[in-house]
């Protein structure tokens, strides 16, 4: 049996070799290095997760055993390196290709780490590479976005090192693993460091900020690799933590709302990726075997669907020269291949049966419904309505909606190497969504033989229901916010909501109008909030008046009784009866 090696040195060696090569040897190295890493990870999966690694003590090759999450994520990241190379094949500068190889190699090193020391070394390298990629792209706002990302990751690294110091000081295991036995302070410090890299609320802003400041083909790696590695670290160290379900669901809801309002294409794709990653984090916090298996399946599906989404968005930007939704429309006839690829990406994000995200999302919703009924239905609603509606919004505005500005834009499908990469991602997304034999690799064994299995009758019916509700929500939103036809909106919100929506559709206008309409909406809302105590006073007065009527009637009836002595005896009898009833109730229930 052939034993696989660690995949990271393959990409590291290719990155060091690139400056020495020219022309065809350079192109061959660019393609063969990620292919070799992908073949190595697939061979490791065939061997049951066993690979050879270099020991830090005596520099000898020793066998190591990968866990189930690393076993399914390593091939996905190696495939992502191949897709990124194909997308940027036209780039002549060696720096960007070297940074891409180092980025994916460090992420693979994180996934294969067996000790905290090796994990921190690869983690630090992984947090530096997105900044190098963004700065090498030469975008106008890339330098500032890179510095903001560096500041956040520096804080996260300090939290990780501080938590690790507390863990080792308390006698913790230096092997990379669960933090269940660690001191609470170490747990919270390291959890905060991982959440910063996973782009979980409230540390989420770096992901759309960084992705929007890259070139059309450069947003692929920064939008996927870091959050995938961070979710793996959360799965290995903090699975079952009580804070993760709340933070994950909040991230999903916030990401969906921002995706519904976004106009810049790469930022929109980043918000949609953030929302899907929130589902993964929430499932990790649940901690059950089915939830963890669903989280790993959705992580792999997210690598494929987010890569396809970023490549489709990059193809639109390269083919039209425009990067905002309000500037584009009716591109389906002029960019037919890109239209089909974006349709596949949107259907995958909407968890269409047969696509990459369907199995993981179905398993997560079923796990939440089994443990927390309310959270399960909230997750079902978000996946049912908002996710398909956001996905349909992207496709509709790009390829179907009429736009007067888009008629004068010259549009065509992007270069062939980008289309080949996107077609490969779409094909693998369909393959991963349909081949159920891959699911046991992620640990989904118990659910496959129940009625909650992804391709049984009830999950398929729920998926069709989610898609129908999402389409209905999209149609209702289009009808509600269409100019002059918002009669279904409440009269209190109608004018200000319409103006806010128009500004969201056309962000190139002055931001003063946005601030003015938002201030008007806030002022009007505040007035109604301040009237609430007055409303409570009115309700209390009405209640007192209604209660006073029977009390006055009782007083008049007592006045009709002869003499004060009789009234006094009657009140004594009523008090005695009330006391006996109270004692009886206390004896019965106490």
Average pLDDT, the chain: 77
The rounded distance, in Å, linking the Cα atoms of 224 and 80 is 9
- Segment among 17-21, 297-301, 447-451, 482-486 with least mean pLDDT: 482-486
Q: Which two tokens stand for residue 63?
A: 């066998």
Using pLDDT thresholds of 50, 70 and 90, give the confidence band for residue 252: confident
DSSP H or E segment with residue 52: strand 50-54
State which of 95-109, 373-387, 392-406 shows the largest mean pLDDT: 95-109
Residue 229: the pLDDT is 92
User: 16 Cβ partners below 8 Å, 6+ apart?
Assistant: 98
Query: Cβ–Cβ contacts within 10 Å for residue 268, how many?
Result: 27
- Assess contact for 81 and 11: CB atoms under 8 A: yes
Q: Which of 457, 76, 115 is nearest to 298 (CA)?
A: 76
Assess whether pLDDT exceeds 80 at residue 236. yes
Query: Cβ–Cβ contacts within 10 Å for residue 104, how many?
Result: 30
Residues 227, 251, 363, 46: what is their CA dihedral angle, to the nearest 10 degrees?
Answer: 0
User: 344 Cβ partners below 8 Å, 6+ apart?
Assistant: 308, 355, 426, 429, 430
Assess whether pLDDT exceeds 80 at residue 17. yes
Residue 20: the pLDDT is 86
- The model's pLDDT over 300-353, given as tens digits with 9 standing for 90+, comes to 889 998 999 998 888 888 888 887 887 887 887 888 888 888 888 888 888 888
Which of 320 and 404 is assigned the larger pLDDT?
320
How big is the chain, counted in residues? Answer: 590
Q: Which residue has the tokens 């929130």?
A: 278
- In the three-class reduction of DSSP (H, G, I as helix; E, B as strand; rest coil), residue 454 is classed as coil
Residue 480: the pLDDT is 63
The rounded distance, in Å, linking the Cα atoms of 543 and 379 is 40
- Segment among 29-38, 256-265, 440-449, 451-460 with least mean pLDDT: 440-449
Residue 439: the pLDDT is 63
Q: Which two tokens stand for residue 568?
A: 């006094």
DSSP H or E segment with residue 50: strand 50-54
Residue 233: the pLDDT is 92
DSSP H or E segment with residue 64: strand 61-65
Using pLDDT thresholds of 50, 70 and 90, give the confidence band for residue 51: confident
Per-residue DSSP letters for 242-274?
THHHHHHHHHHHHHHHHHHH--BHHHHHHHHHH
User: 93 Cβ partners below 8 Å, 6+ apart?
Assistant: 136
CA distances 71 to 2, 198, 440, Å, are 17, 20, 11
Which of 52 and 152 is assigned the larger pLDDT?
152
- Segment among 159-168, 402-411, 564-573 with least mean pLDDT: 564-573
Residue 102: the pLDDT is 92
User: 30 Cβ partners below 8 Å, 6+ apart?
Assistant: 14, 18, 85, 89, 97
CB-based burial label for 135 (10 Å; 0-12, 13-18, 19+): middle
- The model's pLDDT over 472-525, given as tens digits with 9 standing for 90+, comes to 777 776 666 654 443 333 333 334 444 444 444 444 444 455 556 556 656 666
- Segment among 135-139, 151-155, 462-466, 515-519 with least mean pLDDT: 515-519
- Segment among 51-55, 318-322, 358-362 with least mean pLDDT: 51-55
The rounded distance, in Å, linking the Cα atoms of 275 and 248 is 9
The rounded distance, in Å, linking the Cα atoms of 467 and 230 is 30
Using pLDDT thresholds of 50, 70 and 90, give the confidence band for residue 106: very high
State the DSSP code for 223.
T
Largest CA distance in the chain: 118
Residue 445 phi, psi (nearest 5) = -115, -40
User: 450 Cβ partners below 8 Å, 6+ apart?
Assistant: 456
State the DSSP code for 115.
B
Residue 490: the pLDDT is 38
Of all residues in the chain, the percent with pLDDT exceeding 70 is 73
The pLDDT of 137-160, averaged and rounded, is 84
Assess whether pLDDT exceeds 70 at residue 34. yes
Distance separating the N- and C-terminal Cα atoms of the chain: 73
- The model's pLDDT over 260-269, given as tens digits with 9 standing for 90+, comes to 788 888 888 8
Residue 374: the pLDDT is 64
Using pLDDT thresholds of 50, 70 and 90, give the confidence band for residue 230: very high
- Where do the DSSP E strands lie in 177-242? none
Residue 5: the pLDDT is 81
Using pLDDT thresholds of 50, 70 and 90, give the confidence band for residue 107: very high
- Segment among 30-44, 241-255, 271-285, 574-588 with least mean pLDDT: 574-588
Residue 352 phi, psi (nearest 5) = -70, 135
Residues 47, 49, 54, 55: what is their CA dihedral angle, to the nearest 10 degrees?
Answer: -120
Residue 266: the pLDDT is 87
- Assess contact for 301 and 432: CB atoms under 8 A: yes
State which of 144-148, 432-436, 518-522 shows the largest mean pLDDT: 144-148
Q: Which of 458, 305, 254, 469 is nearest to 383 (CA)?
A: 469
- Assess contact for 346 and 394: CB atoms under 8 A: yes
Using pLDDT thresholds of 50, 70 and 90, give the confidence band for residue 35: very high
Assess whether pLDDT exceeds 80 at residue 376. no
Using pLDDT thresholds of 50, 70 and 90, give the confidence band for residue 232: very high
Q: Which residue has the tokens 């009709």?
A: 560
Residue 560: the pLDDT is 60
Paired with 64 in beta bridges are 51
- Segment among 31-40, 226-235, 520-529 with least mean pLDDT: 520-529
Query: Cβ–Cβ contacts within 10 Å for residue 572, how many?
Result: 10
């Amino acid at each position: 049996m052939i034993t696989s090696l660690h995949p990271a040195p393959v990409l590291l060696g290719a990155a060091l070799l690139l400056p020495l090569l020219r022309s065809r040897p350079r192109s061959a190295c660019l393609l063969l290095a990620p292919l070799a890493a992908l073949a190595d990870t697939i061979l490791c999966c065939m061997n049951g997760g066993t690979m050879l690694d270099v020991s830090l003590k005596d520099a000898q090759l020793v066998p190591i055993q990968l866990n189930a999450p690393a076993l399914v994520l390593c091939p996905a990241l190696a495939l992502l390196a191949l897709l990124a190379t194909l997308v940027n094949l036209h780039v002549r500068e060696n720096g960007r290709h070297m940074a891409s190889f180092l980025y994916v190699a460090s992420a693979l090193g994180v996934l294969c780490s067996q000790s905290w020391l090796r994990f921190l070394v690869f983690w630090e390298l992984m947090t530096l590479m997105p900044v190098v990629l963004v700065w090498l792209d030469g975008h106008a706002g890339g330098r500032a976005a890179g510095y903001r990302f560096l500041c956040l990751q520096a804080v996260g690294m300090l939290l990780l090192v501080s938590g690790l110091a507390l863990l080792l000081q308390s006698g913790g295991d230096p092997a990379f693993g669960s933090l269940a036995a660690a001191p609470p302070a170490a747990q919270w410090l390291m959890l905060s460091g991982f959440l910063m890299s996973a782009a979980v609320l409230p540390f989420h802003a770096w992901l759309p900020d960084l992705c929007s400041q890259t070139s059309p083909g450069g947003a692929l790696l920064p939008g996927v690799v870091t959050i995938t590695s961070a979710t793996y670290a959360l799965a290995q160290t903090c699975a079952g933590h009580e804070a993760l379900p709340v933070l994950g669901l909040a991230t999903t809801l916030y990401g969906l709302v921002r995706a519904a309002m976004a106009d810049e294409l790469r930022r929109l794709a980043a918000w949609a990726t953030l929302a899907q990653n929130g589902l993964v984090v929430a499932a990790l916090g649940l901690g059950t075997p089915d939830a963890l298996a669903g989280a790993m399946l959705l992580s792999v599906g997210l690598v494929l669907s987010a890569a396809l989404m970023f490549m489709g968005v990059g193809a639109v930007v390269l083919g039209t020269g425009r990067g905002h939704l309000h500037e584009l429309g009716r591109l389906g006839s002029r960019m037919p291949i890109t239209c089909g690829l974006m349709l596949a990406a949107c259907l995958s994000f909407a968890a269409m049966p047969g696509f990459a995200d369907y199995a993981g999302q179905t398993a997560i919703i079923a796990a939440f419904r089994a443990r927390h009924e309310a959270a399960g239905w909230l997750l079902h609603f978000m996946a049912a309505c908002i996710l398909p509606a956001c996905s349909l919004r992207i496709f509709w505005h790009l390829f179907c909606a009429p736009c007067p500005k888009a008629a004068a834009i010259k549009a065509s499908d992007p270069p062939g190497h980008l289309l080949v990469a996107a077609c490969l991602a779409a094909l693998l997304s369909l393959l991963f969504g349909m081949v159920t034999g891959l699911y046991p690799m992620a640990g989904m064994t118990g659910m496959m033989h129940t009625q909650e299995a992804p391709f049984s009758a009830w999950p398929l019916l729920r998926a069709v229901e989610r898609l129908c509700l999402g389409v209905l929500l999209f149609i209702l939103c289009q009808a509600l916010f269409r100019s002059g036809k918002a009669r279904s909106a409440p009269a209190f919100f109608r004018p200000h909501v319409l103006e806010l929506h128009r500004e969201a559709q056309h962000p190139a206008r002055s931001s003063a109008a946005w601030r003015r309409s938002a201030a008007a909406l806030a002022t009007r809302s505040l007035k109604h909030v301040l009237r609430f105590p007055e409303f409570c006073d009115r309700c209390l007065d009405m209640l007192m008046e209604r209660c006073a009527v029977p009390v006055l009637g009782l007083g008049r009836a007592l006045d009709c009784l002869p003499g004060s002595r009789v009234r006094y005896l009657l009140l004594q009898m009523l008090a005695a009866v009330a006391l006996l009833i109270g004692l009886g109730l206390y004896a019965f229930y106490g």
